[in-house]
Amino acid sequence: MTETLESIAQAMVAPGKGILAADESSGTIKKRFDAIKVESTEENRRDYRELLFRTEEAMKNHISGVILYDETIRQKAKDGTPLVDLIKKAGSIPGIKVDAGAKPMPGFPGETVTEGLDGLRERLAEYYDLGARFAKWRAVIDIASGIPTTACIEANAEALARYAALCQEAKIVPIVEPEVLMDGDHTADRCFEVTEATLRAVFNRLALHNVNLEGTILKPNMIVSGKKCPKQAGVEEVAEKTIACFKRVVPAAIPGIVFLSGGQSDEDATAHLNAMNAIGGFPWKMSFSYGRALQAAPQKAWAGKPENVPAAQQAFLHRAKMNGLAALGDWESKLEKAA
Ligand code: 13P
């Protein structure tokens, strides 16, 4: 079959599968390794990611694609096999984070705009040759008193659209990720309002830049209460509000929505996704593109020790399986207890 943007996008949201976000930048992976008291060396980062990609049952059955970081897409496993080939051998698609991070937005205290457009065309061509068939760009929208501003939302939406257009020119499916953060004490309704405004701006800009929606995947936050909000929305409320928000602003031509976990607990991230799929009645696939909610458990089990690799792989398989079931609306909390 000829590979097209549409066929890749469809494969990324194949039934019961989702994406492993393993694209932590050097700074972020150091934070994760600090928490398990592992030194963040190039070799340790390789060993850790190799153990994930060699978890065959998880990769084959539940992981449609893996988002890599620049260092990882160039690394080789201990036996010399490129890590990209491990992913492909498991029937999963390699992807790449291409943004250069969220930087303070001049004139707008407390807000950021994501950089990385300069030279992106050339970088995408190289990543394609290295095996990447999709990419990721994350914009960050914070909620606090007086923010986000329209200027911040629009600047980030414009950058996302220019990134997406460049990806499609390079035959790479763009994952468009506008993340409204769950930090702060705002209510779920405020999250709804800001997410709605953000997604509206993003889809306006994607249209302006002639981005092919059938070959685009959206990676958003769910509609949740701020972490410090005294009143936390429950699972059903999160599911209902998220679906209602997206029905207003996400075109039906988008093949799939893959959520970020954003600091939700492992089980919340699974329960929320499951509840949405159990309700159903929307035109897109809804699945996961989790970083922390797939990796916190294996990182803890591994703790940098070779003898813990099987336990870490078991922990990764478990989360991948639970989220795979949630992508079908077939997860039940008793499956967690039985593990
Ligand atoms: P989390 O699921 O840990 O939020 O990470 C997903 C991601 O890729 C953020 O850009």
Per-residue model confidence (pLDDT) at position 337: 78
21 Cβ inside 6 Å of ligand 1: yes
Closest ligand 1 atom, residue 67 Cα: 8
Query: Would you call the peptide bond into 148 cis, given omega within 30 degrees of 0 as the criterion?
Result: yes
Closest ligand 1 atom, residue 177 Cα: 10
Closest ligand 1 atom, residue 21 Cα: 8
CA of 259 to the centre of ligand 1 (A): 8
In this structure, what token pair is assigned to residue 135?
């990419």
In this structure, what token pair is assigned to residue 42?
């190039």
With the most atoms of ligand 1 within 8 angstroms of its CB, the residue from 270, 290, 294, 319 to mutate is 290
68 Cβ inside 6 Å of ligand 1: no
CA of 248 to the centre of ligand 1 (A): 24
Distances (CA, A) of 187 to 104, 114, 192, 243, 249: 25, 25, 9, 17, 20
Q: Annotate 185-252 with DSSP letters as a single string.
A: S--HHHHHHHHHHHHHHHHHHHHHTT--GGG-EE--------TT-SS---HHHHHHHHHHHHHHHS-T
**Phi-psi bin for 76: left (phi > 0), alpha (psi -120 to 50), beta?**
beta
Average of pLDDT values for 208-215?
Answer: 98
Instruction: Tell me the average pLDDT of the chain.
Output: 98
133 Cβ inside 6 Å of ligand 1: no
Identify residue 280 by its one-letter amino acid code. Answer: G
Query: Does pTM top 0.85 for this prediction?
Result: yes
**b/e code 106-122 from CB counts within 10 Å (16+ = b):** eeeeebbbbebbeebee
Task: Kindly give, in sequence order, each residue whose CB lies less than 8 Å from that of residue 334, ignoring residues fewer than 6 positions away.
Answer: none
Residues recognised as catalytic: 177, 219
CA of 176 to the centre of ligand 1 (A): 12
175: helix, strand or coil: strand
246 Cβ inside 6 Å of ligand 1: no
262 Cβ inside 6 Å of ligand 1: yes
**Ordered domains of the chain (ranges, CATH):** 5-338 (3.20.20.70)
In this structure, what token pair is assigned to residue 26?
């050097």
Length of the chain (residues): 339
260 Cβ inside 6 Å of ligand 1: yes
| H/E run at residue 139 | strand 134-141
Closest ligand 1 atom, residue 293 Cα: 2
pLDDT above 90: residue 2: no
User: Using an 8 Å Cβ cutoff, are 113 and 155 in contact?
Assistant: yes
Place of tokens 């800009």: 205
Closest ligand 1 atom, residue 262 Cα: 4
C-alpha 81/C-alpha 90 separation (Å) is 13
Per-residue model confidence (pLDDT) at position 339: 63
CA of 20 to the centre of ligand 1 (A): 9
290 Cβ inside 6 Å of ligand 1: yes
Band of residue 338 on the pLDDT scale cut at 50, 70, 90 = low
In this structure, what token pair is assigned to residue 41?
């060396």
What is the per-residue pLDDT across 184-194, written as a single tens digit (0 to 9) for each? Answer: 999 999 999 99
Place of tokens 């003898």: 307
Q: Annotate 73-100 with DSSP letters as a single string.
A: HT-B-TTS-BHHHHHHHTT-EEEEE---
What is the per-residue pLDDT across 19-38, written as a single tens digit (0 to 9) for each? Answer: 999 999 999 999 999 999 99
Give the percent of the chain with pLDDT over 70. Answer: 99
* Nearest in space to 143 (alpha carbons), one of 202, 213, 224, 26: 224
Report the nearest-CA residue for atom 5 of ligand 1. 291
Average of pLDDT values for 293-301?
Answer: 98
What is the phi/psi pair of residue 188, to 5°? -65, -35
CA of 289 to the centre of ligand 1 (A): 7
C-alpha 250/C-alpha 242 separation (Å) is 11
